[in-house]
Amino acid sequence: MYDTSHLRRQDRAMDEQAATHLLAEAQHAVLAMQNICGGAYAVPMDYVWDGGKFIYMHCAPQGYKLECLAACPAVSLVITGAARTLPHMFSTAYESLVVQGECLVVDDAAEKRNALHLLLRKYAPEHLDRGYAYAERALEHTTVLRLCISTWCGKAHLARS
């Protein structure tokens, strides 16, 4: 599943341990998909990784993103970590991941609840009791997306300034 063999710059391939850490800890991602006219469409998302083969995101129960996913569930998710420009080197220090897979709407209430609880533990760990109650009230009005990871890779340039 983790594969950096296609990267042109093998010297910048992240080892799987560093990539796994970034996947677990990064705060935001950009979900890229095919739009319903055949072009590209990308949106920033909060996400959580379940520690296995799924990444969960949440959104409103209707909208263009859901129309695009219904037409073509194949997606890429781009996750970035720390980045800073290195003007004196005409470069950028960065770390990033590209995850590929299929993104579908979660219909099972127990899986949906679990995904929302994972999101709460990542983004609001100091407010879990209130968060769980909020998630329960919002369950019917929240869409949860499950990205099943087929392949992923990480790349980093951590040049020192």
pLDDT of residue 92: 85
What are 89-104's pLDDT values in tens digits?
888 889 999 999 999 9
pLDDT > 70: percent of the chain: 98
pLDDT of residue 88: 87
Overall average pLDDT of the 38-42 stretch: 95
Task: Say if residue 161's pLDDT is above 60.
Answer: no
Domain ranges of the chain: 10-157
What are 133-150's pLDDT values in tens digits?
999 999 999 999 999 999
Structure pTM?
0.93
Overall average pLDDT of the 60-70 stretch: 96
DSSP conformation letters of 72-127: --EEEEEEEEEEEEEGGGTEEEEEEEEEEEEEEE---HHHHHHHHHHHHHHH-GGG
pLDDT of residue 138: 93
CATH class in words for 10-157? mainly beta
Rg (CA), the chain: 17
